[in-house]
Amino acid sequence: MDRTAPPPDFLRSLAIQTRVIGALVMREIITRYGRHNIGFMWVFVEPMMFTTGVLAVWSLVHTHATKLPLVPFVVTGYSTVLLWRNTIGRCGNAIEPNRALLHHRNVRVVDLFIARLLLEVGGATLSFMTLATLLTLAGLMSPPEDVLACVIAWLLLAWFAMSMGLIVGSLSAAFDPVDRIWHVLSYLFLPLSGAFYMVDWLPSRVQSLALLLPTVDCTELLRAGFFGANVHAHYDLGYVVVVNTTLLLIAVAGAQRVSVTVEGE
């Protein structure tokens, strides 16, 4: 017998939890979007509509004063906003609407969080990829200069969003006002997130402060992947990894504590 192989009980439990999370994702889609019209496609069509609407407004009012192409600048900016904002925001109220499901032996609190995290990250990713592809085929934007940089930036931002989502979700389960407070904070955080500017445009004394926000580093890397040598991007991937790892450890500890409290009720 191979002693390095995972025990059968672990593999069986993993398979069960995978099916549980898959079922929770499908339930969330049906509950949120229903079975009519385009159904689950709203998961990525809705973010696409939002980004397209913002792009149209920017184009009409001519507020874009940089030499960078407007379309990819807006698409990369607002797509990142939808990724972190929706992913974190949806976790704030993940437990209460699904509390009855916790009576099932195999459904845990962390499963409720994971299902929503996967749904939001998956929807934002599909939206970004679909919109960028369509706009590229239409000749409205050029393809990325460095696809790998774009992928790394997106994964790091998704990691940050999922960690923060778990933290906000755990705090909301313990203190009801946290969900509402986060919605306010997310609006205040929006202009600082890096969606509307490049770090290189800021005064030198402010640039280091802006890079303390992981969303700024990730957005800078994403735009570096799209624009290549046309931009001077600032980012510190090592710093983002350290921050994300710290947030994830806090998130896991918080989720475990909430699980014990909620499932013990």
> Residues for the chain: how many in total?
265
pLDDT for 151 beyond 60? yes
What average pLDDT does range 66-85 have in this prediction?
84
Percent of the chain at pLDDT above 70? 83
- What is the pTM assigned to this prediction? 0.86
Cα separations (Å) of 233 from 19, 75, 146, 217, 241?
42, 17, 13, 9, 18
Q: Is 4 exposed, middle or buried (0-12, 13-18, 19+ CB in 10 A)?
A: exposed
pLDDT for 1 beyond 50? no
Structure confidence by residue, pLDDT tens digits, 78-125? 889 989 998 998 888 878 777 777 777 778 888 889 989 998 898 889
pLDDT for 130 beyond 80? yes
Of 67, 70, 83, whose CA–CA distance to 200 is shortest?
67
d(CA 104, CA 260): 15
